[in-house]
Amino acid sequence: MHEPVSEPESLRALIEALRCLPGVGQRTSRRMAYHLLQHDPQGAARLAETLLTAVEGVRHCRLCNGFSEGDLCATCSSSRRDASLLCVVETPADQHMIEASHGYTGLYYVLMGRLAPLEGVGPDQLQFDRLLSRASQPEVQEVILATNFTPEGETTAHYLSELLRARGRKVTRIARGVPAGSELEYVDAGTIAWALMERRGA
């Protein structure tokens, strides 16, 4: 009986590293690693270089908490944005999808997550105090809660609406044109644009 072929340690390390990607298990990560090393070593080197550059160069915007290479991101720096509207999203991917809808001209705050007590994610971990400080700025007239219509997203929206209303803020929630249980990242831009136009009191 033949012994299984032993993989080099560096290859095993690459396979394990690729498993950090969402939806990637052992078999998929092995297939990716083999493909990169066998068919596209230049692509692998480019991937390693750009990944390192992004990790070292991308940080959080001082105002919106989204990704930026400087103190302020391009959206927060733009004079064309409507500073009276502040849209709260869970992730930078959600922000990107709302931008792709071309139906929103205000500013953002990115939570970088959602309330998930069973996973140890609470208001402190999401730095809600930072959001409350941002939303309390005098130019902000309306806070739009655009968290996902998942149980965690709904809980987050409810919790934030209570906090913001207690501070006298006008709070709205994007409409349910976005299907219940869905995540903005996977919703088409037209549906997101309609949900923003039809937002309601939270």
> Which pTM does this prediction carry?
0.80
Degrees (nearest 5) of the Cα angle 86, 139, 101? Answer: 30
Q: What pLDDT, in 10s, does the model give residues 120-178?
A: 999 999 999 999 999 999 999 999 999 998 889 999 999 999 999 999 999 999 876 55
Q: How many CB atoms lie within 10 A of CB 190?
A: 13
Q: What pLDDT, in 10s, does the model give residues 45-89?
A: 999 999 999 999 999 999 999 999 999 999 999 999 999 999 999
Mean pLDDT of 168-196: 75
- Between β-strands 106-110 and 67-68, what pairing exists: parallel, antiparallel or unpaired? unpaired
Hey, what domains does the chain have and what are their CATH numbers? 9-57 (1.10.8.420), 60-201 (3.40.1360.10)
